[in-house]
Structure 1
Amino acid sequence: MWYAWLETQRNLMRMLGAWNLPAVGGSTEPGESRATAVGYDWLYRLIQPPTEPPPFDITTVRIGARDIPVVEQVIERTPFCTLRKFSRAPDAAALLPEQGGETPAIFLCAPLAGHHAVMLREAVEALLQDSDVYVTDWANARDVPLDAGPFGLDDYVLVIQRFLRAAGGSALHIVAVCQATGPALAATALAASAGEAPARSITLAGGPIDARIAPTQIGRFARTHSPDWFRNMAIDTVPPPHPGAGRRVYPGFIQHAAFVAANPERQWALESSYWAAQCSGDERAIASARRRLNEYAAVLDMTEDYFLDSIRVFFQECSLACGNWQVGPHPVRPQDIVSTALCTVEGARDDITGAGQTHAAQTLCSGIASAMRQRLTVENCDHYDLFTGPKWHDVIHPALAAFWRSIR
């Protein structure tokens, strides 16, 4: 069992690290070189990777010339997910009268694909300039006791439906990123088919709505390996003393290795930024670079059922694109969505979700009028650029804000 072996090695290394390595935080002892301190800090992070994701820790948002207080609270919780709300001070909307009034709250569907939701912290900060923001914060399956029951793809969709209702239903702009795009579209379609009050809009960014189009290396791998192969090679059992001991999972450490292998340039960029900040001695830059590294390194386990369901539905059977996906007894019918506006966003250099896979939702959602649609392809933009960095701030977020204003 790789999981149990790795946990044993990490525990051993943590003990050795506690005896031998100083937990440096950017300062040095007299006579100690900055480079030595940086090396100690880097090695310490390798030996003692973060066991928990860093908190969002968003206390203010800059609107106009003022810093507006932000309050984070838990709105609802299931064993496998927490719905967080980031609320701005009541006078925030008045600072931007050119927006023409308050924007409906934004419901950010974080992907359940290995990273914790805090990976989207930068996106949350930007979206708070427009309105209050809800975030689906998925639990690490290793921390969910067995008596909480199983969790598959259907359960994921039902959680999104439940949380959408708790957040206000029709008074929302849904934004779904990466793997969350399919379940978010399914939840919206199921609500439309049931005659529920629709969300104001749904934005799908960088997700495999139709993985048959321009398949990437990741998509081809998922499509050409059987469920039994994944079950035998990628699934492990959570060991004690974790609360979810005995649960079958796709471990986060395997997913993190896949992230680094697929996007080594991102890991290198984060490490380089961190070393440069440490060597500069700029404490704010050090803290910011360390946070980004910790956000990227904070990974979670996914349940066996959910992981295998996702591969089957989105990559092997392409059930959503083929029109034969059912959540329980209910067919998923994107064509039933009529009064919810649709925006699809792709990065031209996205090597995780192929070109056209997300835009395929434009065809599936045939009931939406053309005036309520937007299709955005961002040049020189990779997968992570869709929610962090200059492309997000300078191109994608302004385009979303303009889209929301256009459909009031």
Structure 2
Amino acid sequence: MTALAEIVRSAQFAYAYELFQASMRQFGPPSFHLAPIFQDGQRLPVRQTVVAETPFCRLLRFSVGEGKGVQRMLCAPLAGHRAVVVGDAIESMLADADVYVTDWIDARDVPPEAGRFGLDDCVLVLERFMALLGPANLDVVAICQGTVPALAAVARLAASGAREIRALALMGGPLDARLRPTRLGRIAAAMPVPVFLSNCTGAVPPGYPGAGRVVYPGFLQLPTLASGQPERLFSLMLDALPYLWLGHRSVDQALRTNAGYGAMMDMPVEFLLDTMRIVFREYLLPRGLWWVDGVLVSPASMRTTRLLTVEGKLDTITGAGQTHATHALCTGLTDRHRAKVTVPGCDHYDLFCGDVWRNRVYPALRAWLEEPAQCRRSDGSLSRAGLAS
């Protein structure tokens, strides 16, 4: 690329970048907007506090009243959407536990001097947070892309000889992307790196703390994700229209749901390149070849962690079997420590938000977390709520 062509490309990138940022400002700063929780006959507000923080991630604690004494860590994916997209999941879990959420920081707000942030760094951050909360009394629920680093972090803790995580639920994640790859998975596996860098990345423009950091920007991520499940965006817009036309009091909630879906954040380019290589091209985790900080990631090291994998039957973002494949890696767990479920009529986003999550997925997850002996069949799958695979 000539110097002039590069100047033109940079100017075009900066223009599109600012246009997208301006379009999102009308919705205000992204917020979880969690409704008060009814507890002991009282309507109590949800408290949000920062428990720990790194340049790239905050660990948020959500609690009600004096807290529940049960700790659940929700590993939101670093995959474009902000953590507000898992608001429904947080709200559901608050009835039973204090919820800790990985709130990934928009790369546009991370100064370049903070350094690189790759997939291995993500694993180390999750491991640090888990150790801080105390693995022996911690349930971890990981979603989508968050499942890969979460499993690696749990495996590293087990291999270190420390106390293991009490329970790990992996939902709709590409643990073995070789199995039934989806359209997005095939793109991640096949796109040449130079093409990706030339057409999908750019430097954060001046005016932001992260100015100069090379990112995969939100304005390019949204159409890519929408192409993987186009009916999702159409459905959200269609659901909001009646509220707008009729002036219904639920219009704010409908708009917040749409804003939460569209509030994409920039991602460090090295994280994307690592994910493309490790997860979608070389399949290092299922092949037993992934080393993080000098230690081989070995899910077989887990001995006492209870493992649940959940897939949506209609998921077009994560291929069928990719999450359940985790069981083949965790050879140190007995059948009594593992379970799996495939949810009929459930797409990718249904796994953590909306009516399907609230009425079908979370009841099964909750039952497994709280009453393991009653939820497990002899073959290791779930039988509660009619969701056995």
Query: TM-score, length-normalised on structure 2?
Result: 0.89
Partner of residue 176 from structure 1, selected from 142, 147, 150: 142
Shift of 1:262: 2.4
Q: What is the DSSP-based 3-state SS (H/G/I as helix, E as strand, rest coil) of the residue aligned with 2:285?
A: helix
The separation in 1 between residues aligned to 2:225 and 2:201, in whole angstroms, is 17
> Cα distance, 1:197 vs. partner?
1.1
Query: Tell me, which stretches of 5 or more residues in structure 2 are unaligned?
Result: 1-9, 374-389
Query: Within 5 Å, which residues of 2 pair with 1:257-276?
Result: 257-276=223-242
- Residues 48 and 342 of structure 1: is their aligned pair in 2 closer, same or farther, counting only changes over 3 Å? closer
Q: Residue 142 of structure 1: which of 108, 118, 121 is its match?
A: 108
* C-alpha deviation, 1:202, in angstroms: 0.3
> Following the alignment from structure 2 to structure 1, what is the Cα–Cα distance between the partners of residues 300 and 106?
34
3-state SS of paired residue (1:375): strand
Q: Tell me if structure 2 keeps the 8 A contact 1:237–1:249.
A: yes
Indicate if the aligned counterparts of 1:59 and 1:71 stay in contact, CA closer than 8 A.
Answer: no
In 1, distance between residues paired with 2:191 and 2:276?
A: 10
Match status 1:54 vs 2:30: yes
Q: Among 124, 127, 142, which residue is 2:93 paired with?
A: 127
1:372 partnered with 2:348: no
User: 1:217 aligns to what?
Assistant: 183
CA contact (8 A) 2:217 2:265 kept: yes
Mapping of residues 311-326 of structure 1, within 5 Å: 311-326=276-291
Equivalent position amino acid for 1:177 in 2: I
**Over residues 198-256 of structure 1, what are the superposed CA-to-partner deviations in whole Å (9 max), with x where a residue is unaligned?**
11100000000000001111111111122222222212111111111110111111101
Aligned partners of 1:186 and 1:219: how far apart in 2? 20
Deviations 1:81-107 (A, max 9, x none): 0000011213x75xxxxxxxx6x3110
Q: How many Å separate the matches in 2 of 1:395 and 1:8?
A: 40
Count of matched residue pairs? 363
**Residue 14 of structure 2 aligns with which residue?**
4
Structure 1 residue 377: deviation in Å?
0.2
- AA aligned to 2:16 is L
1:331 is aligned to 296
Match of 2:311 in 1: 346
Is the 2:24–2:263 Cα contact (8 Å) retained in structure 1?
A: no
Residue 160 of structure 2 corresponds to residue 160 of structure 1: no
Amino acid at match of 1:389: G
Work out whether residues 50 and 297 of structure 1, in 8 Å CA contact, stay in contact via their aligned partners in 2: no
Q: Is the 8 A contact 2:27 2:259 kept in 1?
A: no
The code of the aligned residue for 2:179 comes to I
Distance 1:289 1:372, change over 3 A: same
Tell me the amino acid that sits aligned with residue 161 of structure 1: E
- Structure 2 distance, partners of 1:66, 1:318, is 50
CA deviation map 1:163-182 (0-9, x unaligned): 11222222111000000000
Contact 2:108 2:211 in 1 (8 A): yes
Give the TM-score, by structure 1 length. 0.85
How many Å apart are 1:390 and its aligned residue?
1.8
How do 1:166-315 residues align onto structure 2 when only pairs under 5 Å count? 166-283=132-249, 285-315=250-280
8 A contact 2:177–2:185 mirrored in 1:
yes
Pair 1:70-2:36 in alignment: no
Letter in 1 for 2:228: A
Partner of 2:361: 396
For 2:49, the aligned partner's letter is Q
- The 1:48–1:307 alpha-carbon spacing in structure 2 relative to 1, beyond 3 Å, is closer
Q: SS of 1:320's equivalent?
A: coil
Q: 1:82 aligns with which of 58, 61, 69?
A: 58
% identical aligned pairs: 42
Q: C-alpha distance in 2, partners of 1:314/1:227?
A: 15
User: Which letter does structure 1 place at the counterpart of 2:185?
Assistant: G
Aligned-CA RMSD value: 1.8
* Residues 215, 107 of structure 1: alpha-carbon distance in 2 compared, 3 angstrom cutoff: same
Where does the alignment leave 5 or more consecutive residues of structure 1 unmatched? 15-46, 94-101
Residues 335 and 367 in structure 1, CA contact (< 8 A), matched pair in contact too = yes
1:331 shift after superposition: 0.4
